[in-house]
Amino acid sequence: QQQVKQSPQSLIVQKGGISIINCAYENTAFDYFPWYQQFPGKGPALLIAIRPDVSEKKEGRFTISFNKSAKQFSLHIMDSQPGDSATYFCAASPHRYSGAGSYQLTFGKGTKLSVIP
Amino acid sequence: SQTIHQWPATLVQPVGSPLSLECTVEGTSNPNLYWYRQAAGRGLQLLFYSVGIGQISSEVPQNLSASRPQDRQFILSSKKLLLSDSGFYLCAWGTSEPQHFGDGTRLSIL
């Protein structure tokens, strides 16, 4: 019940195209859904995050779509650029503080995005 | 602003040797601290987390241990490394959400 399933494992997109990465979860206690971007040799960096009270959040070319009833959320990268080539991780955590161990993130296994010129 | 430092960036150790990886956070007080291991194609695995000095919770029983001797210092240790301990180790901090990661230590065991 703690899993977050992420797909696809890898993705190749033409420059200017739309990159779409999907995640699904089972634990209904999850209340916070961040996406992280990781370049080789670096730690993951927070890209964008959403809570279930909204169905969509947009920051620049990055959009999270959230479907609470389906327990799914996705990352859309519009006008994909070669500089977006990285590994993307979705994650989820329960929001309510419940003592030690709270705010623990459960991560998907990652999607390696390659944007070709 | 808050920053997180991990060192060393890379480390090559023989099997059976000890390990000490250090993580420090600046610009915040009483953060939650986390150690993750990242294996290729397997995402991030939470190893330990700490909500305060001396408070360590382990998520995965294994050859590693963690300590938090100071509010903003988190140490990952091993007495005897195994080949299976190879990987990319990441430290993270957060006071609520989200978590912020350091740039990791690439550990290779020979």
The token duo for B59 is 């998520």
Q: What is the pLDDT of residues A66-76, one digit of tens each?
A: 999 999 999 99
Residue A100, pLDDT > 60, answer no
Residue A110 to residue B101, Cβ atoms within 8 A: no
Q: What is the pLDDT of residues B49-90, one digit of tens each?
A: 998 999 998 888 678 999 999 999 999 999 999 999 999 999
Q: How many CB pairs under 8 A join A and B?
A: 60
Which residues of chain A have a CB within 8 Å of the CB of B102?
A: 43
Q: Which region, left, alpha or beta, applies to residue A95 given φ > 0 means left and ψ of -120 to 50 means alpha?
A: alpha
Residue A41 to residue B46, Cβ atoms within 8 A: no
Q: What is the pLDDT of residue A79?
A: 98
Whole-angstrom Cα distance, residue A25 to residue A50? 14
Which residues of chain A have a CB within 8 Å of the CB of B32?
A: 102-103
